[in-house]
Amino acid sequence: MQTASTNPETAVDAAEAWWRGAVVYECHLPSFRDGNGDGIGDLEGLIASLDYVRGTLGADAVWTGPFYRSPLLDQGFDVADHTDIEPIFGDLEIFDRLLVEAHARGIQVIVDYIPNHTSDQHPWFIDSRSSRTNPKRDWYVWRDPHADGGPPNNWTSEAGGSVWEWDTGTGQYYLHSHLKEQPDLNWRNPQVRAAMLDVLRYWLDKGVDGVRIDVAHMLMKDPEFRDNPEAVGGNDNPYDLQHPDFGSQLHLYDRRHPDTHDALAEIRAVVDEYPGAVTIAEIEAMSWDEWAAYYGPALNGMHLPFPFRLLETEWQAGRLRNELAGLYAAMPAGGWPIIALGNHDRLRLATRLGAAQARVAAVLMLTVAATPCLLYGDELGMTDQPVPAERQRDHFGHTAGGVSRDSTRTPMPWSAGYNAGFSSADPAKLWLPLARNSAEINVDAQLADPSSFLSLYRRLIQVRRASSALRHGELRFLADACTDAVVAYERYRGADHKAVLLNLTDSPARVQLGLTGTVLLSTVGGSGRHVEPEFHLGAGEAVVIDVVERARTT
């Protein structure tokens, strides 16, 4: 049996660190709610939605998505000014008001910190590309051509093609791991580090409660710029919406250099100057040992490195259980995980898994020993909506062979009314078109339906909020109940004891549970039913059980 590792200090931390027991909600600003009628979600719209986030859904923190000055070729992950707000999203006064309004409701605010690259419109890059002798030249990664006259090496970009872009004016290539309009900063330059740490201080001084660090695994590259090896047979990742060029090689040298951890420890040291602030690190899927290293050798790295390996695991009970066991076995003592099974870069959960299993996934995220991070609209079972080329915003889809992620990012449907309650603008002006099923899949409709996705999420969050075992307790797999179809685990803390059964198939399943209790919540209905040591799960059913008695010793 696997136990989520904790040490005595953890119990103290659990009481102190707000984020350990919290539910984080990723709202993705341009798609969330339009506050001024121009068709684009904004900070005013987010402020107007805080009662939904806290009162209706029950989340504890919002992760905003980028709102900095930006040409918005990559949804704001292309920053042109780190300390000002893109006017379509609002201004600094509105941002300050967001903090006040969120904090007044007990909501923590997590903003994006995008250290790996800027926009090519950022003044730093404009200076850097102006001449080879400009003082900011070394702030980005510039190289001479390869001896054959082509790009310095073979690295491929996440957005397709080479990571190297030729600059005619100065006769060198610059590196961009994403779009060519997103040059990578040179984190080996101490001035860059100092400037980017100042950016962090700027937002922490304002009072944000944490940062989600974009591509934290990419800050340091191989200093020798060695070629990546070819991926024999291709390295395509069916779970990621990536350009096929990216999958043509094994990305050994363009990311995940060991020196990355020193840079992240510096970031963490700044964040630690602000008690309670959290670092959530976006790092790509990797082995559990490599993932665990992002906590830092003395827990001086990231508080919550995303375990995307879980998101990329086939939805099958044995595989999921193995990966969860791998995660807990690798996690350092005193560490605590975050879990996200969907985000703005991936297919929506209900598209990937279907509606029934997306409900099972909700139970997993909200009951496993981890801080859940939920993508806006997944609580409604939103599905992907292909966006016609002329309406696409994501420039990753504009490159040859590129894949747009806009289908995941359609506007939040609040009601069955005009523009699904997202905006009062002309529909042609909406940031992205509404999902066609918005008349059925929307907040108002689901609030009125006790069997809806939203009702399930609300109930799950209530059950979680009322249970210290679910928020902070140990996790142990219920080995006898785990089958090819079912993942089963228990959570316990003091007298509070819960069991969770997830049927990952569309057939009924019978499990030997060895526990008695009461079903607190089921994805298919049937809460309140009495639990016998042998338990029958319906097709695609997940349950949370309040355990009253253990029929065997463990």
Binding site for ligand NOJ (CB under 6 A): 74, 77, 114, 178, 214-215, 282, 344-345
Q: Which does 178 bind (CB under 5 to 8 A by kind): ligand NOJ, Ca ion, none?
A: ligand NOJ
User: What distance in Å separates the CA atoms of residue 83 and residue 246, rounded to the nearest whole number?
Assistant: 32
Q: Which does 34 bind (CB under 5 to 8 A by kind): Ca ion, ligand NOJ, none?
A: Ca ion
**CA-to-CA separations, 244 to 179, 235, 248, in angstroms, rounded:** 14, 9, 7
10 Å Cβ neighbour count for 227?
15
Q: Which does 214 bind (CB under 5 to 8 A by kind): ligand NOJ, Ca ion, none?
A: ligand NOJ
User: What distance in Å separates the CA atoms of residue 228 and residue 247, rounded to the nearest whole number?
Assistant: 11
For the chain, the distance separating the N- and C-terminal CA atoms, rounded to the nearest angstrom, is 9
Which lies closer to ligand NOJ via its Cβ, residue 114 or residue 278? 114
> What are residue 66's phi and psi, to 5 degrees?
-65, 145
Q: Which x/- pattern over 18-47 shows residues binding Ca ion (rule: CB under 5 A)?
A: ----------------x-x-x-x-x-----
Which lies closer to ligand NOJ via its Cβ, residue 119 or residue 505? 119
Least separation in angstroms between residue 161's CB and ligand NOJ is 15
DSSP per-residue string spanning 121-170: TSHHHHHHTT-TTSTTGGGB-EEPPPTTSS-SS--B-TTSSBSEEEETTT
| 266 catalytically annotated | no
Least separation in angstroms between residue 114's CB and ligand NOJ is 6
Give the torsion sign (CA, 230, 232, 236, 237): negative
Of the candidates 230, 273, 426, 534, the residue annotated as catalytic is 273
Q: Which does 36 bind (CB under 5 to 8 A by kind): ligand NOJ, Ca ion, none?
A: Ca ion
Q: Which residue is nearest to Ca ion (CB)?
A: 42
**CA-to-CA separations, 397 to 73, 241, 401, in angstroms, rounded:** 10, 10, 8
What lies within 8 Å, CB to CB, of 415 at 6+ separation is 421, 442, 443, 444, 445
Q: Which does 40 bind (CB under 5 to 8 A by kind): ligand NOJ, Ca ion, none?
A: Ca ion
Least separation in angstroms between residue 26's CB and ligand NOJ is 10
474 binds Ca ion (CB under 5 A): no
Q: Which does 38 bind (CB under 5 to 8 A by kind): Ca ion, ligand NOJ, none?
A: Ca ion
Least separation in angstroms between residue 40's CB and ligand NOJ is 17
Q: Which does 251 bind (CB under 5 to 8 A by kind): ligand NOJ, Ca ion, none?
A: none
Which lies closer to ligand NOJ via its Cβ, residue 26 or residue 379? 26
Q: Which does 215 bind (CB under 5 to 8 A by kind): ligand NOJ, Ca ion, none?
A: ligand NOJ
Least separation in angstroms between residue 112's CB and ligand NOJ is 9
Least separation in angstroms between residue 193's CB and ligand NOJ is 19
Which lies closer to Ca ion via its Cβ, residue 79 or residue 430? 430
Which lies closer to ligand NOJ via its Cβ, residue 34 or residue 406? 406
Q: Which residues of 333-355 are buried (b: 16+ CB within 10 A; e: fewer)?
A: eebbbbbbbbbbbbbbbbbbbbe
Least separation in angstroms between residue 342's CB and ligand NOJ is 12
Give the closest residue to 381 by CA, choosing from 291, 476, 445, 477. Answer: 445
Q: Which residue is nearest to ligand NOJ (CB)?
A: 77
**CA-to-CA separations, 107 to 19, 208, 525, in angstroms, rounded:** 11, 11, 30
Which lies closer to ligand NOJ via its Cβ, residue 212 or residue 261? 212
> What are residue 133's phi and psi, to 5 degrees?
-100, 5
Binders of Ca ion in range 345-404 (CB under 5 A)? none
Could you tell me the two tokens for 79?
């920053």
User: Do residues 293 and 216 touch, judged by C-beta distance below 8 A?
Assistant: no
The helix/strand/coil state of 212 is strand
User: What distance in Å separates the CA atoms of residue 379 and residue 374, rounded to the nearest whole number?
Assistant: 8
| 86 catalytically annotated | no
Which lies closer to ligand NOJ via its Cβ, residue 317 or residue 432? 432
What lies within 8 Å, CB to CB, of 306 at 6+ separation is 280, 281, 282, 283, 338, 340, 373
Of the candidates 86, 120, 214, 282, the residue annotated as catalytic is 214
Side-by-side strand order, sheet with 496-503: 474-477, 486-493, 496-503, 542-550, 515-522, 530-531
Which lies closer to ligand NOJ via its Cβ, residue 186 or residue 438? 186
Q: Which residues bind Ca ion (CB under 5 A)?
A: 34, 36, 38, 40, 42
Catalytic positions, please? 214, 273
